Amino acid sequence: MDTALPLGQGESSSLLAALPPAAEWALLTVAIVASAAAVVATVAARRARAETRRMDAIAGGAIDRVADAEQTIDEMAAIYRSLVESLPQSFLRKDLEGRFTFANQRFCDELGHPREEVIGKTDFDFFPRGLAEKYRADDREVLESRRMLDVVERHVTPRGETLHVQVMKTPLYAADGSLIGTQAIFWDVTARVRAEERLRETNVELECLARSEHQAHEALKQAQSLLVQNEKLASLGQLVAGVAHEINNPLSFVSNNVAVLERDFVDLLRLVELFAEPDDPGRAPGPAAVAEAAAIVERVDLRYCLENFPRLIERTREGLRRIERIVKELRLFARVDEGEWNEVDLNPGIESSINMVKGYARKKGVEIAMELGALPPVRCRAARIHQVVLNLLTNAIDACGDGGRVVVRTGTEADAMGVRVDIDDNGAGIPPEIRERLFDPFFTTKPLGQGTGLGLSISYGIVREHNGRIEVQSTVGRGSCFSIHLPLEPSRSPYAARPPVAAATPPRPVVEERSPDIVPTTSPES
């Protein structure tokens, strides 16, 4: 059975059979080349398609990145616009010629024009010429110096309203660093400026008030000093009888001694003349001179005179010293100058004050006793403290009857780092109904004309000036005790830390009912 070949194959075979042998090899070569070319073309096509796909992928990625970048730029621009538009300040930009290239809505609202009418215009299109020229000069300064301008200046709105604005202008640069204009932000600070002006005015008023207060304080100090001085003179007037008595005692025996010395001294001088003639010292006295000398010796009791003269002179000197001491104490007490703050031992001044009132106390029949303990130096105005002691002593003497007794004690207070002065009496005491008024100015229980009512008030003020305090204990019929507590250093006083009861009312001194078992002590009445 014959095998049938496909048509193409048969035809090819017939064609090959019909060709000469050399032609068969040529045709075979062509076929092989054609086949290789087809393979190469196929590979090239595939590579081209792959490269196309790769280029398409690359192009697609770049486009995506560009799209992402554009989206980021749009988002940043939106954020920038949102930030600029939401600012409570006006924001703007200008080119090098002063034309507006950007303005936020707040600035446009202030100008009263939409943004499209603002862009491209200058300050001269919206503001008075003088103000526009100033803004342009500020722009040139920023461009030339390339520094920020930060000022508070007057600004006139297009509506004619004058404001104070805080302005910050800076140079504006392009991406390559070249200068392309200016940008500015400004906001209304009129309220702040006016508040600062009011503050300055208030400061001026406060300075005037401070000067007035200082002048008033100086006047008050002078008035207080005058008041203290008047009280001193009033106390001195009250004590003048006792002081006169104190002076009269030594003065009387000084006068008697001088009279005796004068009498006997004349006879002694005559006796010397009888036995020592100046013309002839070697001549012996005659019988008449001897007889006269004998009479003088008998009359004056020469031996007694010679023995008594030194004693008379010493007693006279003692009397003069006592008078000198009294006068010195009077001058110290009555002086207007209160002196400076110094560290002093209070005991000598207290003793001097006691000596001042001894005559007054004797006149009243009152005994004064001193129990002065050793005291450390106290920083104070000594003359004023002695004034307080003298006032309290006088009141204590007045509170006692005939046979009364006043005791003055001093001592230290270790806990309070200070000293204490107690003035006790066994007088009438202080009735409960007047205890709260003891230190009120012009309050007195003495008869009219015998008390100023300022003694205790001034004393209280002096003690408070030294950051001290006064305590009072009293029992009617048994006496009173006034205690003065003073710190060693007023600036570190434990009493100074206590707040006052009220601004217009100083803290009251402690006034207590005196315990019956306490030794009687002072009762003030002025």
Whether the predicted pLDDT of 125 surpasses 80: yes
d(C-alpha 456, C-alpha 399), whole Å: 14
Residue 182 has a pLDDT of: 93
pLDDT tens-digit series, residues 434-463: 777 777 665 566 654 455 556 677 788 888
Instruction: Give Cα separations from 379 to 297, 414, 461 (angstroms).
Output: 62, 16, 17
pLDDT tens digits for range 210-268: 888 888 877 776 776 666 666 665 666 666 666 666 677 778 778 888 887 777 777 77
Each residue of 282-336: pLDDT tens digit?
556 666 766 767 777 767 667 777 777 788 888 888 888 877 777 776 666 655 4
Question: Band of the pLDDT at 484, cuts 50, 70, 90?
Answer: very high
| pLDDT exceeds 60 at position 498 | no
Q: Which residues are within 8 A (CB) of 418 and not within 5 positions of it... i.e. 6 or more apart?
A: 378, 412, 468, 485, 486, 487, 488, 493, 494
Q: Share the mean pLDDT of the chain.
A: 75
Q: Are the CB atoms for 136 and 95 separated by under 8 Å? A: no
pLDDT at residue number 1 = 42
Per-residue pLDDT at 499? 37
pLDDT reported for residue 422: 93
Choice among 336-345, 476-485, 501-510 with the minimum mean pLDDT? 501-510
Kindly report, residue by residue over 36-87, the tens digit of the pLDDT.
566 666 767 777 777 777 777 676 666 767 676 677 776 776 776 667 777 7
User: What is the predicted pLDDT for the residue at 399?
Assistant: 85
Is residue 480 within 8 Å of residue 517, measured between CB atoms?
no
CA separation for the pair 438, 517 (Å, rounded): 24
Residue 11: the pLDDT is 46
Q: In this structure, what token pair is assigned to residue 438? A: 């003891």
Alpha carbons 509 and 457: distance in angstroms, whole number: 11
Q: How far from the centroid of its chain's Cα atoms is residue 263's Cα?
A: 73
Q: Are 504 and 462 in contact (CB under 8 A)?
A: no
pLDDT higher than 50, residue 13: no
Mean pLDDT of 453-480: 83
Residue 3 has pLDDT above 60, yes or no: no
- Rounded Cα distance between 142 and 243, Å, is 89
Q: What is the mean pLDDT of residues 346-351?
A: 88
Tokens of 307: 């023995």
**Res 113 pLDDT > 60:** yes
Burial bucket for residue 505 (CB in 10 Å: 0-12, 13-18, 19+): exposed
Min mean pLDDT across 138-142, 429-433, 451-455 is at 451-455
For residues 90-97, average pLDDT: 91
- Whole-angstrom CA distances from 75 to 68, 71, 101 are 10, 6, 21
Stronger pLDDT, 8 or 175, i.e. the higher one: 175
pLDDT, position 421: 94
